[in-house]
Amino acid sequence: MTTVTLPGGETIWYKTTGTGAPLLHIHGSAFGHRNFEKMTPLAAQLFEVIDFDLPGYGESIGNLRPGGMEGLAEQVFEFIQAAGYDRVHLHGTSFGAMIGLTLAARHPDVIDHLVLSCFLARSDDAARMMRGTWKRAAKDSGMTAVADLTSVAGFARSFYDRPYAQEQLQTMRDAFSRTDAGAFVAGTETIEKTDLSDLIPLISAPTLLLAGAEDNMTPFEPSPSGIGMQQIANELPLCNTQVIPECGHYLVIEQPELATQYISSFING
| Type of residue numbered 99 | I
pLDDT score for 269: 82
Query: Looking at residues 190-209, what average pLDDT do you find?
Result: 96
Q: What is the distance between the alpha carbons of residues 199 and 99, in angstroms, rounded to a whole number?
A: 11
Q: Where residue 156 falls among pLDDT bands split at 50, 70, 90?
A: very high
Q: DSSP code of 163?
A: T
In this prediction, residue 30 carries a pLDDT of 84
What is the CATH topology of the domain spanning 2-268? Rossmann fold (3.40.50)
* 25-51 confidence digits (pLDDT tens): 999 988 889 999 999 999 999 999 999
Write down the mean pLDDT value for the chain. 95
Buried-exposed string 142-159: b where 16+ CB fall within 10 A, e elsewhere: ebbbbbebbbebbbbeeb
Query: pLDDT category, 3, cuts 50, 70, 90?
Result: very high
Spell out the domain ranges in the chain: 2-268
Q: Work out whether strand 239-244 and strand 111-117 pair parallel, antiparallel, or are unpaired.
A: unpaired
- Evaluate whether 235 touches 228 at the Cβ level (below 8 Å): no
Question: Hey, what amino acid is at 173?
Answer: R
Q: Which residues of 195-227 are buried (b: 16+ CB within 10 A; e: fewer)?
A: ebeebbeebebbbbbbbbebbbbbbbebeeebb
DSSP assignments along 167-198, one per residue: HHHHHHHHHHHTS-HHHHHHHHHHHHH-B-TT
Q: How confident is the model at residue 237 (pLDDT cuts 50, 70, 90)?
A: confident
Q: What is the arithmetic mean of pLDDT over 172-198? A: 92
Query: pLDDT class for 189, splitting at 50, 70, 90?
Result: very high
User: What is the pLDDT, as a whole number, of residue 1?
Assistant: 73
Q: Let me know: does 267 contact 21? Beta carbons within 8 Å.
A: yes
Count of Cβ atoms closer than 10 Å to residue 247 Cβ: 24
Q: How confident is the model at residue 266 (pLDDT cuts 50, 70, 90)?
A: very high
